[in-house]
Each structure stands twice: as C-alpha cells, then as structure tokens.
Amino acid sequence: MTVGIGGWGARRKPMALVRALLRTGVRDLTVVSCGGPDVGLLAAAGRIRTLIAPFVTLDSVPLEPHFRAARESGALCFEEWDESMFLWGLTAAAHRLPFMPVRGGLGSDVPRRNPRLRTVTSPYEDGEELLAAPALDLDVALVHMNRADVRGNGQSLGPDPYFDDLFTEAARHTYLSCEQIVDRFAGPPQSLLVQRQNVTGVLHTPRGAHFTSCAPDYGRDEAFQRAYVRAAGDPGTWREFEARFLAGDEHAYQRAVDGREPEEATA
C-alpha cells in the first residue's frame, strides 16, 4: 500500500494517524512524504519497505535519527527525489496524468540512483529534454488540519498549506484529522484547503500533530522532540520511550505527554 503523509518535516504532521497506523499490523508500506518524525516512527517500527521523499528532517534538529539508522542499516529502500519533482509527481497524480515535465533533478545523481525515472523531449522548437516526474498515485493520504466539518471539508489556518491539498487529490482515500470539528467555518475562504469530495473519513484528534507544530493552534514541542531524538540514539532507551508513549491508544499518549515532570517538559 502506498501512503502519502501531509505536512512538512516537523510541521503539521498527522501524527495521531501515524500513531494509529503503528497500532495496526500494516507493514511493507510505500511512504510518500516531505519527511519528518512520521517517517522516523514508521521506520523505527520497520513498517516502510520503500520511502519516496526529497528529504527527512526534524527542522530544529536537522537530521532524523530513525531515518538515518534505517538508511545506514539498509532497512529501507529509498527513492530520493528532488523537491520540485515531488511537487510535480503529486500534481500529475492529482490531474490523472502519467507524468509532469520538470527541469529539477536533471544532471544530479537523483536519476542515476533511480532507474525508473525517464526523460521526455519537448515536441516544440526548443526540443529540451526534461525529466518526466512520474505520478505519485496514492492509495491513502493522511493529513492534519486546524479545523474540519463532519463532511470532510478541511481548513488550514497556519502560514503554509504545504502540499496537503495535493496529497488528498492524488489519493484514492484520504483520512483527515483535525484540531476542532466545526459547524461553520470562520476565516478567509482561501484557508478552506481540503474539499469533502476528496475525503473518506474525518477524525477529531485534538493536539493530533504533536510533537510537530500546528500553527496557529500550537508550536512544536521542542522538549519532547529532543527526548525523542535522545531515545532514538539507544535501543534500550527507545524501548522505554515506546513503552511509555506508544504502547496505548491516543488518549494514553496525550496523558503520557501531559504527565511529564515540569523539568522534563522544559529540558
């Protein structure tokens, strides 16, 4: 199964949905993501067969420790894409096209490391040979919004929509989680990013992007992220982290996050 995950790095990731995925037995995933701790958690649990991504980062911590470990141990297959290729691959899928032409990627080692990538030649006078970014068709997309209604319309109130609408348009099924379910939307119409015809299910998951940021509702939980990175550095510590935060359901997770000692929360 190919799963696209919205957000960007450690920003507005549908982390509650990722945690829910970890509680199922789903494995051998192809994950499509501007990667952050979503990729890290799935990689740590051995759920990713193939990762399609232009990068994986925790923003305030540049490198994602579980992704690094998975790459360095050869635990996952990595399709390394350029960011503009990624944009056009999602756009092609959203438009039901087989590919979109793009200059980014040409000349670099990205096509050399990815034998499925092909070029396409312009039929016009310029005759340029460009990269054909293949459609990133998704079985499922997971995105997290600030607000949604029960029909599946989603509203993004932060400064950046990232590619979340494209993820929903590139997928056969989309599951949208949100901070608040509303009866009627307030705010500018441009913030109504996701539309119900592209959404299969809506979930109310307050603080569901934790520990990534979800502006303007909350910022990144930097202390928790640092604890995550520290725990990832050692198998024993990681098992303790999993037992403490990831063994139960979403309510248990949020209770465990709230239950940290004050010095831990600010460490």
**Residues in the site for other proteins, rule: CB under 8 A?**
8, 35, 53-57, 62-63, 67-68, 71-72, 74, 80-85, 87, 102-110, 112-113, 128-130, 159-163
> Rounded to whole angstroms, how far apart are CA atoms 209 and 69?
24
> Rounded to whole angstroms, how far apart are CA atoms 216 and 252?
25
Alpha-helical segments (H) within 36-163: 37-44, 65-72, 83-94
For the CB of residue 57, give the shortest distance to other proteins in the complex, in Å.
6
For the CB of residue 108, give the shortest distance to other proteins in the complex, in Å.
4
For the CB of residue 143, give the shortest distance to other proteins in the complex, in Å.
15
24 neighbors 44 (Cβ within 8 angstroms): no
Closer residue to other proteins in complex, CB, 72/258: 72
> Rounded to whole angstroms, how far apart are CA atoms 75 and 44?
10
Radius of gyration of the chain (CA): 19
Closer residue to other proteins in complex, CB, 50/200: 50
- Look-up of token digits 């340029």: 128
Closer residue to other proteins in complex, CB, 132/203: 132
Cβ neighbours of 38 (radius 10 Å)? 28
User: Which of 64, 33, 42 lies closest to 164 in space, CA to CA?
Assistant: 33
Closer residue to other proteins in complex, CB, 54/134: 54
Closer residue to other proteins in complex, CB, 4/203: 4
Tokens of 132: 């054909």
For the CB of residue 210, give the shortest distance to other proteins in the complex, in Å.
19
User: Which of 217, 218, 214 lies closest to 10 in space, CA to CA?
Assistant: 214
CB neighbours of 47 closer than 8 A, spacing ≥ 6?
21, 22, 26, 27, 28, 29
For the CB of residue 1, give the shortest distance to other proteins in the complex, in Å.
23
For the CB of residue 214, give the shortest distance to other proteins in the complex, in Å.
14
* SS3 call for 233: coil
Q: Enter the DSSP assignment of 46.
A: T
Closer residue to other proteins in complex, CB, 84/195: 84
For the CB of residue 184, give the shortest distance to other proteins in the complex, in Å.
25
Alpha-helical segments (H) within 131-213: 164-170
Closer residue to other proteins in complex, CB, 109/183: 109
